Amino acid sequence: MEKQILKILERDARTSPEQIAVRLGATVEEVSEAIKKMEESGIIRHYKTIVDWEKAGKEQVFAFIDVRVSPSRGVGFDDVAKRIYNYPEVHSVYLVSGDYDLRVVVEGKTMREVAFFVAEKLATLEGVLSTRSSFLLKRYKVDGDVFEEAAAEHRLAVTP
Amino acid sequence: MKPISKVVHEIPASGIRRFFDIVSQMKDVVSLGVGEPDFDTPWRITEACIYALEHGHTHYTSNYGLLELRKAIADYFVRTEGLEYNPENQILVTVGVSEGMDLAMRAILNPGDEVIIPEPSFVAYKPCISFAGGVPVVVCSYMENGFAVLPEQIEAAITSKTKAIWLSYPTNPTGAVAPREILQKIVDLACKHDLYIISDEIYDRLTYDGQHTCVPMLPGAYERTILLNGFSKAYAMTGWRIGYAAGNPDIIEAMMKVHQYTMMCAPITAQVAAVEAIKHGYEDSEAMIEEYGQRRRVIVKGLNDAGLKCLMPGGAFYAFPSIKDTGLSSDEFAERLLFEEKVAVVPGSAFGECGEGHIRCSYATSIDKIEMAVERIGRFVSKLK
Ligand SMILES: Cc1ncc(COP(=O)(O)O)c(C=O)c1O
């Protein structure tokens, strides 16, 4: 049942325990109890809102920065990553396989601002060998959500 | 001009058709009237078809269908049921279960042969029997029995002219699943009276409380059962028009004879898509089934809360509540509900006379819409009191 609850909440965090209970054929108490346990154990980290900031009129640019790192004794990937992710303009940081080691998503008001951040803060960090930046131009699908007007109903209204 | 065929003329106009015409004139209707998945076909299936088209798969296939597909279907039955069909001569790929039904009737019936069909059931069974020159003999299934027909009823309907018994569990429109013991008794009757069994198991994967009973697996059934199934429901592929029939080689050959002269073969586009579906579509369809399972509970609770007595259906994606307490006929109920609250349902009488007193509510629609629809139904029912 826990996994099913998580799937429902991941899709819509505002689904009430009452609604979930009906869908899963459980009691409200069972559902509430399970949610509370998962919140306490950190399986549910927190609830947040997906905002279309562009629609809200906020100027915003994102860039994906691939970072090549040369770890040395005492300064591993984790340490470099930490120095990077503590900056508030850093949206997310991943350790990845391939030519580059860290994939950093940086947020800023303008391209210039992001470019400066990369040149001044990221590229100059100890252990950083090189960076490669790509600016985000358009979102098609994010975290499983397709960014597109909902498709029209293709079905006939009444069928056998 | 001379009149059209008497048989065709005598088939009544579809009760669903009439409703569709009204609904399509209206705006903002929440429809619980749709008998097909709301999901689009999983992308991997559609993409496999596009790829095949780009690579020149645009030709006729064997009359029986692509051997690769027949093999995949045979593998599927071995894997899921331990049921063996030889892909060379025991499986025929059809244009949906719809074509399979027609072929089955034409392959086995002589004029005047009787076919026993439990109702309420899918709208096409009776016409298919009539078109093939047969005579449908209806037995009613009732809410008290969970909408499963009783073996005694079947036995009482058997005459010297009976040729076949038509089964279809899970059932459209009731969502009924027949217990194995009941099905076994019906199979025993078929054996005793030497009858064919047509088993339309298109909703086999859409069962929610336990295992589906595959009729040809029951002792005595294999030789005499024409199993009909397809891809429309489990893989959300209604528009592709693809299904299959499986059974003993003589019956399948007879069906193939009709098929080869009337259809040639099922469309290759749908056949290659079906190969992908049956080989790699399992998880996609499981996700849809899990979703239907949740919607099922929402709609059944909603309908009961709205004052309509409704059983928990074991399969398919239909709830079939009783509206008898409202004093309206199912036609009146459906029509007034549509005009007064803009919710479309299908009157139970469209699925046979014994569907009267019920409405079919499809839950192949989003939970938000289901919640909206049952709220409106509740308002409508309370106005009637
Ligand atoms: C019980 C039943 N059988 C057969 C069909 C037709 O299926 P197909 O799309 O494979 O022709 C339907 C469709 O609604 C159905 O409900």
pLDDT tens, residue by residue, B257-270: 999 999 999 999 99
Nearest chain A residue to B27 by CA distance is: A157
C-alpha A8/C-alpha B373 separation (Å) is 21
Residue A81 CA, distance from chain mean position: 17
Query: Alpha-carbon distance B40 to B382, whole Å?
Result: 36
Task: Identify which of A19, A25, A158 has the shortest CB distance to residue B344.
Answer: A158
Give the SS3 label for residue B373.
helix
Tokens of B93: 């790929």
Question: What pLDDT shows up at residue B54?
Answer: 97
Instruction: Report, as an integer, the average pLDDT of B19-39.
Output: 92
Q: Is B375 on the interface with A (CB under 8 A)?
A: no
* Residue B277 identity (one-letter amino acid): A
- Residues B383 and B254: their CA atoms lie apart, in Å, by 56
Closest C-alpha to B285, from B38, B41, B35, B32 = B41
Alpha carbons B334 and B19: distance in angstroms, whole number: 9
Separation of alpha carbons A17 and A10, rounded Å: 14
**What is the distance in A from the centroid of ligand 1 to the CA of B42?**
19
CB-CB under 8 Å, B16 with A158: yes
Give the pLDDT score at B361: 98
Q: Rounded CA gap, B93 and B41, in Å?
A: 19
Query: What is the DSSP-derived secondary structure letter of residue B246?
Result: E
Domain B58-280: CATH architecture, name and number where available: 3-Layer(aba) Sandwich (3.40)
> Could you say which of B33, B40, B295 has the minimum Cβ distance to residue A158?
B33
B42-89 per-position pLDDT tens digit: 999 999 999 999 999 999 999 999 999 999 999 999 999 999 999 999
Protein residue with least CA distance to atom 16, ligand 1:
B172
Q: According to the model, what pLDDT value does residue B295 have? A: 98
Picking from B127, B214, B125, B121, the residue whose alpha carbon sits closest to that of residue B174 is B121
**DSSP tag of B45:** H
* Beta-carbon count within 10 A of B375 CB: 16
Residue spans per domain, chain B: 6-41+283-380, 58-280
**Best residue of B97, B283, B343, B367 to probe chain A, by most A CBs closer than 10 Å:** B367
Rounded to whole angstroms, the Cα distance separating B245 from B254 reads: 12
Q: Does residue B301 belong to the interface with chain A, where contact is any CB pair within 8 Å?
A: yes
Mean pLDDT, range B92-98, rounded to an integer: 98
Residue B38 CB less than 6 A away from ligand 1: no
Which pLDDT does position A150 carry in this prediction?
A: 72
How far apart CA B235 and CA B43 sit, in angstroms, is 11
Residues B378, B308: Cα–Cα separation, whole Å: 9
How do residues A80-106 score in pLDDT, each as one tens digit? 999 999 999 999 999 999 999 999 999
Going by pLDDT thresholds of 50, 70 and 90, the confidence category of residue B239 is very high
Identify all chain A residues contacting B14, using CB atoms and an 8 Å cutoff.
160
Summarize the confidence of residues B356-370 as an average pLDDT. 97
pLDDT at B68: 98
Asked if the domains at B6-41+283-380 and B58-280 fall in one CATH topology, the answer is: no
The verdict on a CB contact (< 8 Å) between A157 and B36 is no
What's the mean per-residue pLDDT of chain A? 92
**Coil, strand or helix at B66:** coil
Is-contact B48 B276, C-beta < 8 A?
Answer: yes
Residue pair B166/B139 in contact (Cβ under 8 Å)? The answer is no
**Is pLDDT at A149 greater than 80 in this prediction?**
no
CA of B193 to the centre of ligand 1 (A): 28
Q: Which residues pair with B136 in a beta bridge?
A: B115
> Which run of H or of E encompasses B118?
strand B114-119
State whether residue B344 sits within 8 Å of chain A by CB: yes
User: What's the whole-number mean pLDDT along residues A18-29?
Assistant: 96
Which residues partner with B117 through β-bridges?
A: B138
Contact B16 A4 (CB under 8 A): no
| pLDDT over 80 (residue B172) | yes
**Structure-token pair, residue B94:** 């059809």
Quick one: tokens of A123? Answer: 């590229």
Q: Does any ligand 1 atom lie closer than 6 A to the CB of residue B97? A: yes
pLDDT band at A143 (very low <50, low <70, confident <90, very high): confident
Distance spanning both ends of chain B, measured CA to CA: 52
Q: How far apart are CA B294 and CA A24, in angstroms?
A: 6
**Alpha-carbon torsion, ordered B298, B301, B306, B307, to 10 deg:** 150
Is there a contact between A160 and B40 if contact means CB atoms under 8 Å apart?
no
Q: How far apart are CA B165 and CA B226, in angstroms?
A: 10
Q: What percent of chain B has pLDDT over 70?
A: 100
The kind and range of the H/E element at B137 are: strand B135-140
pLDDT band for position A148 (50/70/90)? confident
Angle subtended at Cα A82 by Cα A80 and Cα A83, rounded to the nearest 5 degrees: 65
- The whole-number pLDDT of residue A153 equals 81
3-state secondary structure string across B286-324: HHHHHHHHHHHHHHHHHHHHCCCCCCCCCECCEECCECH
High-pLDDT (> 90) share of chain A, %: 71
- Write down the CATH number for the domain with range B6-41+283-380: 3.90.1150.10
At A109, which amino acid appears? K
The pTM score is 0.92
Classify residue A149 as exposed, middle or buried by CB count within 10 Å of its CB (0-12, 13-18, 19+): exposed
pLDDT of residue A147: 76
Residue B358 three-state SS: strand
State how far Cα B182 lies from the chain centre. 19
Identify all chain A residues contacting B36, using CB atoms and an 8 Å cutoff: 155, 159
- Distance from the Cα of B381 to chain A's closest Cα (Å) equals 22
Atom of ligand 1 nearest to the CA of B35: 14
CB contact under 8 A, B297 and A25: yes
Is residue B146 scored above 80 in pLDDT?
yes
Q: Which residues of A touch B29 (CB under 8 A)?
A: 157
For B292-348, the pLDDT digits (tens) are 999 999 999 999 999 999 999 999 999 999 999 999 999 999 999 999 999 999 999
Percent of chain A with pLDDT over 70: 100
Mean pLDDT estimate for chain B: 97
d(Cα B180, Cα A66) in Å, to the nearest integer? 60
Q: Which among B31, B122, B295 has the least Cβ separation from residue A158?
A: B31
